[in-house]
Each structure stands twice: as structure tokens, then as C-alpha cells.
Structure 1
């Protein structure tokens, strides 16, 4: 089984990066952070026009008829760009919520008691009762992800769909890869004692470890997109969460004091990684599920 992207998939990824570089550059990122993560509806419609949400719908329904593997590539690019909004939920609702596929409707869904981008959402999936008036805004660690806490009388939603978990893992992979780029760029251009800081072995080790984590997570996500196996999706999310969070921390170390400043993007990657890590099974739950799957496999092998 070949997990490497095809030429068409690489072209799709390149097109997504070009679109985001053009429509959501660093200036747009800062503007989004300045307005507390509130969505730019014109950008949302541009994503819809580009097929971001309708990617997996059949062609007869106005989609591209592509699969989960292609969706993973798009969401990896979205994570790299720190694109805000309930992208996963709107993508998954494209076939059932009017306007979602075209980017005319914003769809969100709760993760535990929390729901992101509630003020911008036209539809909230998985909430019973469906009212949102009693949801309480809370302070989010990520300035690009506004959060609300649902009231106690709202029944706990079901665990997120495996596809939602995998696409969130893909976003984490994109963020992990981007912080590798930021660390390497800083190590090459920042000088100390008359030479680039990348010449120092300690910095080289940090960058090498970041690259290994990012590539390991990306491989796991790509493989899970092909197989669709629950255990592999769980493992991919676990590795992607680790890569996104640890790479952002190591990138801060490489960048030094500048990495902690508001002008740097590194802290935004770390904060978003923390928020995404809460979407899906906790680390402890994921490890338990994977251990149980391994033990079950061992029993079958022994039998």
C-alpha cells in the first residue's frame, strides 16, 4: 500500500497553499487575532468557492468527488496557515446543511461542554436542546478561537466522529511543519558570536527533533486517511497533538526571546495546538484505546 501523495494530490495541496497565501497572509492573520477570531465571511465564501467544504461531495451534488486523503491535505495547509473557524465541522456538514458546501453557512459543533465560534455559527450540530442563548463565553487561550461553555441542561454530545478527529490531526500536522520552517529560518538568519545560531549543536538537535516529530505525525495521518481504521486515526491524533505542541515549544526555544513576543507567530501555533488537542480523545484515553487494540491483536495472533 502506497501512502505517498500522488501528483494530483500534490497539485491540490499546492493550490490550497497558494489560495491561503493570497487570501490569508500574515496581515490577515493579525487582523483576525485583533478581532478575537471573528470570521471573515468573504474569506469563508472564498473557501467554499474553491471547493474546500464540498471536496468530498459527489460531483452530482456539486462536489469534487474526492476522498478523505485529499481532505487531509487541505486541512494540513489550513493548520499551517492558522486559518481560524470551525473548518472541520462545516466540511463534515457540507452534505446536510444548506449553504455549508458553498461557504454561505458556518457550522460548528461542541467538543465536550465547549463550542468554538458560536457567535459566527449559523448552525450548531449535536446540541440538544438546540438553543444557544444560555451558552456562556469564556476566555480562550487562543485569540483566534473564541469559546463558549454550554449550559448544564444541554445533553453531552457524542464523541467526535473519527473523520473529525483525523482532520483535526491534519491541522496539527500543518502547524507542526510550519514551526519547523520558522525555527530553521530563524536559526539560519539570527547570528550570535559572529555566526548563525544554527551552527550551534544544541539548536541543530532541537530542529532535528522537530523535523522527526513532524514527519512521523504526517506519515501516521496520511496512513490513517488511507486505511480509515479507528486505531490508526487515534494514533495519528496522538502523534499529531504531540508534534504540534512540542514543536511549538521547541521553536520558542530556538527563537529565544523574540518567539514570545506578540509580533511572532510561534506563540499562536502553540496556543492553537493546545486548543486542538482538546478536540477528540484525551491523551490518556487515546493511549488506553491503543493499548487495548494491541492486546486484542496479540490475543488473535496467539489464537
Structure 2
């Protein structure tokens, strides 16, 4: 305006004409709309953070991990190893127990019929020790599995799973030892029991998972 000083001109309204952009104090470019409101340039938010809006930050901060589905058995999943279903873990332990009992039976049967040096191999002390250890591990695992089935406690289930896995794997190995080279052949079922015991031992809820659960329960 004629007669106005430079200070007054600088302090005049910052509203710009439609289609023109004005430089704000923070250095952001804003475009005036016909209604008088300013629109922030694309890629810039009203908070001044490049490429990030306050709504996006709010959504990101409010995002939480999805809730884990409860156990199908209705038992507490929080105490089970890494969310594994205690019923599934117990059923696997029962399968391992069946394998341990079967290989123990096969070993005793073979030791009583196979003869070496004019007598059954079951008469030798080394074979006797193998069969006795198989029986002890099997009966120990049997008691643990039956107790876990009654109590339905995830800690008892984890203990039963560890004992059953050991009884099945070591029992199958000892049975293979009693059968000698014949145990490795396809005509003998011992090698199948050993492979199945290995596979079951790597299912969810076994090994380190059950050991961690027992450790947490002991330290609680």
C-alpha cells in the first residue's frame, strides 16, 4: 500500500492469493486454498516430520501382538512349553511309552531265543544289563505318563514327555544292540521303532522346551 512502511508490509496478513504458495516460519511450503485454509505440501506433515504423520505414529504405537489362541484342551497354555498343547504333548509321550515297551519286549524275546557259544545270549551279563535298563526306563516313564494323565498339570506332562522320549530312544538303541547286525535290516522292525522314536522326540513340547518349563517351575 502506498505510504506503508516496510515493517507494516512485513507484518501484514500471511494469507496468499489462490494458487500461490507462501513460505512459513518453519521453512515449510504451504498452499492457500480458496477457503482461506492452508494445505501442507505433499510428503510433509503438520508436525514437521518428513514423510510421517501423527496418525501413522499413533497407529504404530497402539499396535499390539495378537492374542494367542487358548489351548484346545482347556488347560493353561501359559505354563506349557512355547504354547504347545499339553494334551498333544502327553499323547506323544504315550506313543513313546508304547515304543519303549515294545522294544523291551523284542529285546527280551530275542535274547532268549538267539544262541551263541552254545547258550542263549540272554545268559551273558552285558545283554542282561541292557534288558534290565530298558525295563527300568520303561516302567519309570509309564508311571510318569499315567500320573500326568491323572493330574493334567503341564509340568507333570513335561516331565513325562522327557522320560518317555529317553525310554523310547535309548530303549530302541539298546534293542538294536541286542539284535546285532540283524537289527539294521529291513526284515527286522527294530530299526523302524528307532526312527519313529527320533521323529516323535522332535515334536513340539519335547527336549529343550520341556526342560525350560521344568526349570521355570523349579525356580518359581
TM-score range, shorter chain: 0.5 to 0.7
| Map of 2:86 onto structure 1 | 162
Cα distance in 2 for partners of 1:203, 1:167 equals 31
Q: Distance in 1 between matches of 2:197 and 2:204?
A: 13
Contact 1:159 1:280 in 2 (8 A): no
Confirm or deny: 8 A CA contact 2:104 2:131 kept in the other structure.
yes
Partner of residue 198, structure 1 = 122
8 Å contact 1:259–1:267 — kept in the other structure?
yes
- Select which of 113, 132, 145 maps to 1:189: 113
Larger Rg: 2
Q: How many residues align?
A: 141
Matched, 1:270 2:194: yes
1:186-231 CA-to-partner distances (Å, cap 9, x unmatched) read 0000000000000000000000000001110111000000000010
Give distance in 2, aligned partners of 1:238 and 1:170. Answer: 11
User: In the TM superposition, what is the alpha-carbon distance from 1:287 to its structure 2 partner?
Assistant: 1.2
Residue 279, structure 1, aligned to residue 212, structure 2: no
TM-score (norm 1): 0.45
CA distance in 2, matches of 1:281, 1:170: 13
The CA distance in 2 between the partners of 1:280 and 1:197, in whole Å, is 39
Work out whether 1:250 is the aligned partner of 2:178: no
Which whole-Å CA distance do the structure 2 matches of 1:187 and 1:256 have between them? 11
Shift of 1:278: 1.3
In the other structure, the counterpart of 1:230 is 154
Equivalent positions of 1:62-77 (< 5 A) are none
Partner residue, 1:177: 101
Cα RMSD, aligned residues only: 1.5
Could you list the runs of 5+ residues in structure 1 that have no partner in the other structure? 1-91, 94-157, 297-303
Q: Under a length normalisation based on structure 2, what TM-score does the superposition of the two structures give?
A: 0.62
Where 1:247 maps in the other structure, the secondary structure is helix
Whole-Å separation in 1 of the counterparts to 2:204 and 2:126: 34
- Any stretches of 5+ residues in structure 2 without a counterpart? 1-71, 74-81
> Which structure 2 residues correspond to residues 106-145 of structure 1 after superposition, within 5 A?
none
* Separation of aligned partners in 1, 2:99 and 2:212: 26
Runs of 4+ residues over 6 Å off in structure 1: none
In 1, distance between residues paired with 2:120 and 2:206? 39
